[in-house]
Structure 1
Amino acid sequence: MTSTPSTTATTTATSPVTDQHLSRADLQRLVADAPAALQFERCTFDGEDLSQMDLRGATFIGCTFADAALEAATLTSTRWLDCRAARAQLQRADCTDARWHRCDLNNTDWTRARLSSALFAEVKLTGAHFREAHTLGLEFHESLLVGADLRGLSFRKQTLAQLDLSEADLGGCDFRDALFEGGSLRDAHLKNTRFDGADLRGVDLGGLKLAQVAPFFKGAIISGDQAAALVGELGVRVL
């Protein structure tokens, strides 16, 4: 007798919302009626104003949020798989402990967002902005950050696996004692960036000028081939 209510509640909590275009009003009704965190599959929220909504713990699979506004939304412990959210606005959103996997988040804006203990894995973040974001424990893995604005972020002592940081603005970033496993820093902006003790032997340093990066690479570990390429930028032949 006691097991029946539990089984019913579990079924309700895990039944996903599928294949719908949802407005702010639709989402508000679903959140108000839900006994637990919601799950959405292949739903569209394109262009919707979802700012300041409380969606904590929700799971989104194959959903789209193109041009959606999620400013100051509560997205703590949310899970995002195979989602697309180009140009979405997430300024001041609370994304603590959120997870994004295989998502397209190009040109998104995370200004002053809370991203503590958040994870981006196999995610496209080309042109994304992370100005003044709170990022303690934030991790990126195997992701595209081409042209992204990451100024002032700390990656100290992290293992950075296959991050494409080409043309990214890394001004003031802290890469001390970080280990780069592949990836690229080609043509990145490195003003006041710190690499003390960083292992850069696996990263593409193409396009960087020795005269420009020498002050910031002090104490970094690079390979002989990388050193030769940097010196070659001065027109010097290394034999």
Structure 2
Amino acid sequence: MSYLSQIWQRFRNYAQGKKLTDKPQTNSVKAQTLFPSTKISQDLDKKPRYVQNNLQYSLFIQKLQKSLEEWGKPGNGLLSAQNEIVTAPKQRQFYEEIYDLLGHAALTPDIVEQVINLLIARKTFQPLLLFQRLEEFYRRWCQGEFLDAAPDNNLPQKKMLTLLAQNITIGLREVDIYTGLNVLILLLELHRYAQGRDELQQSINFYPSSQPDTESFFTSELLRIINYSDAIEIGNFTSIVGEFLKGGNFRGAYLGNANLTGANFSGANLSGAYLGDANLTGVNFTNANLSGANFGDANLSGANLQNANLSHADLSSANLSGANFSHTDLSRANLSHADISSANLKNAHLSHADLSSSNLKDANLNNANLSHAIVFGANLSEAKLSSVNLSHADLCRADLSGADLSRAILNGTNLSDTILFSTNLSDAILVAADLSYAKLNGAKLNYAKLNGAMFLGADLSGVDLSGVILNDADLSGVLLSEADLTGADLSYTMLFGTDLSYANLNKANLSGSNLSGALLNGADLSHTNLSYAILSNADVTEANLKEMTWGEKQQWETVRGLETALNVPELLKQELGLS
């Protein structure tokens, strides 16, 4: 049987799922890399196959380095920057060499790094010509030109038959996919190399989905490659190319529904890209430019977006649980209805962002900037919000129960109808904040600054307000029964009809406040400053007035319960004619 006949016999047997009985067992290369990426031990006790693999590994690196150097030489009949004549046989030979060298398994980061370093060390390295020629191959490969060619001109088929003759079982698509993805890897690495050099930045700029704002721009080209690669096995694309995507240029690319689990996009440009419904679980987006990108309904759980630019990005209804947004720019981003539970947003920039109806339960937002953000109806229960900036944000109807807002800045913030059960707001700044109808049971507001704040219909009964600053605030009709207001500053505060029964107002400053109709029965007013306060129709039944301070022209005529008040100062008794 002739050599060619043997090849075709093997091809027929392979297509029928058979093996030749007189030949050794074949070796599958599916989902394998070219060589182990880890360094091989030199221990002599190791099996010989490791030494053989190590030798093949070194030989392949040398061969790839020499081929890339040869492919980048000018004047060899290939495409060039000088518009030299392209020789068809030379061009075909070039493409055949690519399939022959790169068509049986995937490149590894270790191999690529060593080859690039060897090329850089050589003075004859021509990165621009190499880039242009590999990019031309890549564009043709993307269009399926080589796979769809006639049998006598089909390079993937030729490579497959060569491998079959060597007892290596591999499918036609696998040969084509490995070749194209390996060329993609080399182009991505050349791009990353060039972007670190001023003289090459403009001339070597690789766009896997072609360059935006041009007639040839095909936004979903990379998506088609991903889906084509994953036809063999789900996740095949990212397992091969995922680590090489860092620093890449994917501006404006369409990647909707793409499976990119665990990919490395660190430092990449995905501004304006569409990744709606994509699986981006565990993806590395650190320092990436994602401004204006669309991640609607995407799965970014566990993704690392530290220091990324997500300004004006659409993350609505996305799964962001457990993601890392530390120091990330999310200004004016749309995060409405997103699941951001247990995410790290420490020091993140979220000013003017839309977080309405989002789930931020257990999230870490310490030191984050949410000024002017829309957080309407969001779930922030048990969230860490220490020292957060929420000035002028809209938190109406949000759930902040059990959250830590200590030292937070909430100037002019809308907290109306907000759930603040057991929320820690100690030392927080809430100047001119709106807490109307807020649920504050069990909350801690000690030493908070609430100047000019509004509490219409709020329930502050039993709340810790010790040392709080509430001067000029409006607490009319508010429930403050049994609240701890020790040492609080309530000067010139509106307390009209306020229920302060059994509240602790020891050493509080109520000077100039309006307590008309207030309920102070059973309250501790010892050492309290009531000078110039308006007390008409206030009820002080059984209140403790020990060493209380009052003004000379204080009007007590309509004050109720003075006869049963405790520890009324002697001078006040004399002034009022009490026995």
TM-score by length of 2: 0.36
- Say whether residues 1:45 and 2:252 are aligned partners: no
Tell me what 1:212 maps to. Answer: 459
> CA shift at 1:190, angstroms?
1.0
Match of 1:32 among 241, 244, 260: 244
Secondary structure class of the residue paired with 2:370 = strand
> Which range moved further: 197-206 or 95-104?
197-206
Post-superposition Cα deviations, 1:53-84, rounded to whole Å, max 9, x if no partner, equal 22221111222111111111121211112111
Task: Quickly say closer, same or farther: Cα 1:54–1:48, change in 2 above 3 A.
Answer: same
Distance (Å, rounded) in 1 between the aligned partners of 2:211 and 2:296:
19
> Identity across aligned pairs (percent)?
19
- Say whether residues 1:54 and 2:284 are aligned partners: yes
Secondary structure class of the residue paired with 2:297 = coil
How is 1:122-133 mapped onto 2 (pairs within 5 angstroms)?
Answer: 122-133=352-363
More strand per residue: 1
Letter in 1 for 2:430: L
Distance (Å, rounded) in 1 between the aligned partners of 2:397 and 2:313:
25
- Say whether residues 1:227 and 2:479 are aligned partners: no
Post-superposition Cα deviations, 1:87-108, rounded to whole Å, max 9, x if no partner, equal 0001111222211011111011
Match of 2:376 among 131, 135, 146: 146
- Say whether residues 1:7 and 2:198 are aligned partners: yes
> CA shift at 1:18, angstroms?
5.0
Secondary structure class of the residue paired with 2:330 = strand
Higher RCO structure (Cα 8 Å, ≥6 apart): 1
Distance (Å, rounded) in 2 between the aligned partners of 1:125 and 1:233:
37
CA contact (8 A) 1:117 1:137 kept: yes
Tell me what 1:76 maps to. Answer: 306
Task: Quickly say closer, same or farther: Cα 1:180–1:223, change in 2 above 3 A.
Answer: farther
> CA shift at 1:233, angstroms?
8.8
Task: Quickly say closer, same or farther: Cα 1:193–1:33, change in 2 above 3 A.
Answer: closer
Distance (Å, rounded) in 1 between the aligned partners of 2:306 and 2:422:
32
- Say whether residues 1:172 and 2:423 are aligned partners: no
Task: Quickly say closer, same or farther: Cα 1:13–1:100, change in 2 above 3 A.
Answer: farther
Tell me what 1:94 maps to. Answer: 324
More helix per residue: 2
Match of 2:340 among 110, 134, 142: 110
Task: Quickly say closer, same or farther: Cα 1:123–1:31, change in 2 above 3 A.
Answer: farther
Distance (Å, rounded) in 2 between the aligned partners of 1:202 and 1:216:
19
Structure 1: state its 5+ residue gaps. none
Letter in 2 for 1:105: L
Task: Quickly say closer, same or farther: Cα 1:177–1:35, change in 2 above 3 A.
Answer: closer
> CA shift at 1:221, angstroms?
3.1
Letter in 1 for 2:368: L
Distance (Å, rounded) in 1 between the aligned partners of 2:364 and 2:389:
19
Distance (Å, rounded) in 1 between the aligned partners of 2:343 and 2:409:
26
> Which range moved further: 137-146 or 102-111?
137-146
Letter in 2 for 1:147: G
Distance (Å, rounded) in 2 between the aligned partners of 1:154 and 1:40:
30
> Which range moved further: 158-167 or 74-83?
158-167
Alignment RMSD (CA, Å): 3.4
> Which range moved further: 217-226 or 26-35?
26-35
Distance (Å, rounded) in 2 between the aligned partners of 1:225 and 1:211:
13
CA contact (8 A) 2:367 2:387 kept: no
Match of 2:351 among 109, 121, 133: 121
Letter in 2 for 1:32: F
Secondary structure class of the residue paired with 2:301 = coil
CA contact (8 A) 2:367 2:389 kept: no
CA contact (8 A) 1:194 1:216 kept: no
Flag the structure with larger Rg: 2
TM-score by length of 1: 0.81
CA contact (8 A) 2:372 2:393 kept: yes
Task: Quickly say closer, same or farther: Cα 1:38–1:30, change in 2 above 3 A.
Answer: farther
Task: Quickly say closer, same or farther: Cα 1:55–1:156, change in 2 above 3 A.
Answer: closer
Distance (Å, rounded) in 1 between the aligned partners of 2:355 and 2:460:
25
Task: Quickly say closer, same or farther: Cα 1:155–1:48, change in 2 above 3 A.
Answer: closer
Letter in 1 for 2:459: Q
CA contact (8 A) 1:190 1:216 kept: no
